[in-house]
Amino acid sequence: MLSDGVMTDTEFKFISDLVYERARIVIRPNKRSMLQGRLAKRLRSLQLPDVRAYIKLISAPEGEDELGEMLNAVTTNVTAFFREPHHFKHLAETMIPEALARNAAARRLRIWSAGCSTGQEPYSIAMTLANVLDKQGNVDARILATDLDSTVIAFAEAGCYGADDTAPVPPGLAAKYLKKTADGQNAVTQRLRDLVIFKQLNLMGNWPMRGPFDAVFCRNVVIYFDKPTQAKLFKRIAAIMAPGGWLYIGHSETLFKVSDDFELAGKTIYRKIS
C-alpha cells in the first residue's frame, strides 16, 4: 500500500531544509499539509511506499533528476494575463518610451520576467511591448522569461491557453496577438513568440545572462524567501539592470528594509537608483 505522504517531524525538517538549500524557498510548519499533499503525488508516481523511501531516493546520486521534480512540486504557480494592470499601463506609457529614448542609438530593449510561471506574465509584457514597438520601426527587443519549475516553462513555451485564461486580455490586444486553434484554444502569435525567450533558472544559482535589463518583473516570488535571501536577490537584480531601470514587484511585497538600490516610484513600482 502506498503512503499518503504523511511525514515525521524529522522527515519534514529534512525536506524543508533541502528545499531551502536548493532554492531558498522557506516552507514553514503551517505549510506542512501542503508539502505532504504534493509529495504524496510524487510517491504515487514513483510507486514508493513512504516518505522515508523518497528521501533515500533524492539523497542518492541517481535521485538528482527527482530533486528537480520535487522543487517543481513545491513551487506554487498562480498567475494570470495582465495581473495587476497598473504595471502594464506604466510599462506602455512610461517605461518603454523612456527606455527607447535612453537607448536611441542602439535601439535595444531588454525585459526580464523572473518567476514567469505558465507564461501569462511574459506574454502580457510582450503584447504591451509589441503594441508600442509596432509603431516605432525596427527595435532590438527581447523578453527573458525564467522559472525554477521546468514543467511550467514547457507549458509556457507551447503558448496555448483556454478562453477563461485569456479573458483578462484587452480585446484590442487579443485581436492582434491571439489566434484560435482547431481545438478552441487561444494561441499566442508568432510576433509574441519572437519576443520571448523561456529558460529554466534557479534564482539562487548562477545567472548566465548579463543584461543590462531596462525592466524586471519579479512579482509574487520573494514572498517565499526569508529577508536575507530577498536582500541578496534584489542586490543581484540591481547589478544587472540599466541605470534608472524599472522593477515591478507583487502587491503583497515591499523593498522596505530589504534593498537600498531602488526608490519607490508608484504602487509596487520601483526605480533603480543610478
Given the residues 147, 149, 214, 261, the one annotated as active site: 147
Measured CA to CA, the distance from residue 213 to residue 210 in angstroms comes to 8
**For residue 16, what is the DSSP state?**
H
Phi first, then psi, for residue 191 (nearest 5°) are -55, -45
Measured CA to CA, the distance from residue 62 to residue 65 in angstroms comes to 7
Please count the other Cβ atoms lying within 10 Å of the Cβ belonging to residue 170: 16
CB contact at 8 A, 25 and 70: no
Given the residues 22, 32, 38, 107, the one annotated as active site: 38
Measured CA to CA, the distance from residue 177 to residue 186 in angstroms comes to 10
Give me 140's grid cell. Answer: 532590438
Annotation marks residue 17 as catalytic? no
Annotation marks residue 38 as catalytic? yes
Q: Which residues are catalytic?
A: 38, 147
